[in-house]
Amino acid sequence: MGSRLKGDIKKGAMPPLHRYIGNPFLTWMLNSLFSTGISDAHCGMRAIKKEALNKLKLRSGGMEFASEMVIEASRENLKIAEIPITYYPRGGESKLSSFADGWRHLRFMMLYRPTPFLLVPGLVVLLLGITLMIGVSLLRQSRWNSMILGSLLLIVGYQMLLAWIHFGAFGESYGVSHTSKTIKKFMSYHSLGRELLLGLILLLAGVAVGVNVLLAWSAAGFGGLYLTWSAIMALVLCILGIQTIFSGIFLSLMLLNNNYK
């Protein structure tokens, strides 16, 4: 692999955004997640032996191909060497889209390693939301702003956990992720009925609380009603239930024809 950062970058050859922010950040993330130990992950100047290329099974068709080659080479324990190069200004027009292509690289790394991107922050946000909601409930004070914030954090955290499962399932079917036996069992096609059952229970609980609020409101002549806490809980339970149900349906479709049967 050529290394522009270890070599000579001519004036105007690389925009400051790519040279000092984008490329160093993505390279650092690639090294942190996959222990590649390189300085310039997205240099296009590369050479590879045919027998080594055949081991990599490269499939991506966009700018993330640069990351996929390095990741797969690291997974196959191939020797990676860097050579400092001189980088000159491009002769033609660049097709690179800084933020779109940067996101494609980041998304591809998330496919290989979803845990640090989704599971860890998702658990933190989820637990923070639950703690905030429980704290407000125990204090029995009308701190509705805190209750709404806690509900939002809970829903966002839960969605991130579901996304972690989805990334893991797709990664397994794509052949890039290696999840634990526990997660594989959880994602089993035959066990997804449990997720649907959980979603149905949450949804029915939310509907029950919501009906109770509606009846109380009706008894009050549809006037002022001080059941905000119950209304928020009904909303949260219904959202979690719907998220869980459609997550189960999505996973069952994704895993329908793979080895999880």
Pair (15, 95) in one structural domain: yes
* Site of tokens 């059952």: 197
- Cα distances (Å, whole numbers) of residue 72 to 57, 106, 128, 168, 177: 8, 15, 36, 17, 12
Residue 130 pLDDT level (bands cut at 50, 70, 90): very high
Report if residue 260 sits inside a domain.
Answer: no
Answer whether residue 232 shows pLDDT above 60: yes
Contact 199, 244 (CB under 8 A): yes
pLDDT tens digits for range 143-199? 778 888 999 999 999 999 999 888 887 877 776 665 556 566 656 655 677 788 899
Q: What's the pLDDT score for residue 167?
A: 85
Report if residue 188 sits inside a domain.
Answer: yes
Pair (46, 71) in one structural domain: yes
Report if residue 198 sits inside a domain.
Answer: yes
90's tokens: 């491009």
Residue 261 pLDDT level (bands cut at 50, 70, 90): very low
H or E segment to which residue 7 belongs = strand 2-9
Whose CA is closest to 22, among 79, 104, 80, 86? 104
Q: What's the pLDDT score for residue 189?
A: 57
Pair (15, 78) in one structural domain: yes
Report if residue 185 sits inside a domain.
Answer: yes
Q: What's the pLDDT score for residue 220?
A: 73
Report if residue 206 sits inside a domain.
Answer: yes
Pair (188, 230) in one structural domain: yes
Q: What's the pLDDT score for residue 95?
A: 75
Pair (137, 45) in one structural domain: no
Final residue before a domain boundary, out of 56, 88, 109:
109
pTM above 0.95, yes or no: no
Answer whether residue 207 shows pLDDT above 90: yes
Pair (58, 117) in one structural domain: no
DSSP code for 5:
E
Report if residue 259 sits inside a domain.
Answer: no
Pair (118, 175) in one structural domain: yes
CA of residue 258 relative to chain centroid, distance: 22
Q: What's the pLDDT score for residue 187?
A: 63
pLDDT tens digits for range 26-74? 999 999 999 899 999 989 899 999 999 998 888 887 888 889 999 999 9
Pair (117, 59) in one structural domain: no
Containing domain of residue 57, as a range?
2-109
Pair (138, 216) in one structural domain: yes
* Site of tokens 């029995």: 140
Pair (122, 65) in one structural domain: no
Final residue before a domain boundary, out of 66, 91, 109:
109
Spatial separation of the C-alpha atoms in residues 12 and 110, rounded to whole Å: 32
Pair (18, 95) in one structural domain: yes
Provide mean pLDDT across the span 234-246. Answer: 93
Q: What's the pLDDT score for residue 114?
A: 87
152's tokens: 């939002």
Answer whether residue 78 shows pLDDT above 60: yes
Pair (127, 182) in one structural domain: yes
Answer whether residue 260 shows pLDDT above 50: no
236's tokens: 């949260």
Other CB atoms within 10 A of residue 253 CB: 11
Report if residue 261 sits inside a domain.
Answer: no
Final residue before a domain boundary, out of 58, 88, 109:
109
Q: What is the dihedral of CA 150, 151, 152, 156, to 10 degrees?
A: 100
Spatial separation of the C-alpha atoms in residues 144 and 156, rounded to whole Å: 18
Q: What's the pLDDT score for residue 245?
A: 92
Contacts for 225 with CB less than 8 Å, ≥ 6 apart: 213, 216, 217
What is the domain count for the chain? 2
pLDDT tens digits for range 92-129? 777 778 888 888 888 889 888 888 999 999 999 999 99
